[in-house]
Structure 1
């Protein structure tokens, strides 16, 4: 099962990153943190990877409602959105929502059998 879905853009990295941030905040997401994976791998492991930024995106209203149903949802927050250089442009990916259980009173809180069939268990 794919853990994410995304799209390719011919924009350069900085432009794709700025557009992704603007799109997320324009839709009500906060970005409480961002990880520069390229620098982290280089500085801590001596490795070399293309430019990659991981944005932690969280919709506060949704997070509060989901947390009220099941505190375990905190394990999934914030959701990751990745911007990475690839083949003359950038790939922008987000977590596949079908990999996560439904956080509703009728959902995974009471019975794992009511999760979507694509729920990885």
Structure 2
């Protein structure tokens, strides 16, 4: 089982990023954090890097359920989604697979939460290429 779900789509970086955020919202997630790697690497190290953002997404209901059964699970939250430009007009979107990452925790009570969140994140990745 892969530790991420991924797809490549065509479009501008900004358009695809907005679509990802919209799809996250439709699945009950909000974006809590945004790390702009292109900007950070330029500002901190003067390195030119491709457009690459890490979106920290959270579904409060499932985060709460996970925290109820494992109080240290916050160290593995939020769920990260990557939006990166692989070439002009070609954008890869990847999301963490919670079923894989939660295996490290070894708490059986997390399995149902991880399974549900995995399905939601996989749906988002699968719907990136749908016209809307």
Aligned to 1:38: 38
TM-score in terms of structure 2 length? 0.74
Aligned residue pairs: how many?
Answer: 107
Structure 2 unaligned runs (5+)? 109-132
State the shift of 1:97 in Å: 2.4
C-alpha distance in structure 2 between counterparts of 1:61 and 1:71, whole Å: 15
Aligned mates of 1:32, 1:43 — CA distance in 2 = 22
Distance 1:39 1:2 in 2: 29
> Displaced runs of 4+ in structure 1, greater than 3 A?
none
Q: CA deviation at 1:30?
A: 1.2
Higher relative contact order (CA 8 A, sep 6+): 2
Pair 1:94 & 2:82 matched: no
In 2, the alpha carbon distance for the partners of 1:61 and 1:23 equals 17
* Higher helix proportion: 2
Q: Distance in 1 between matches of 2:27 and 2:97?
A: 18
Q: Which has the larger radius of gyration?
A: 1
Map 1:1-16 onto structure 2 (within 5 A).
2-16=2-16
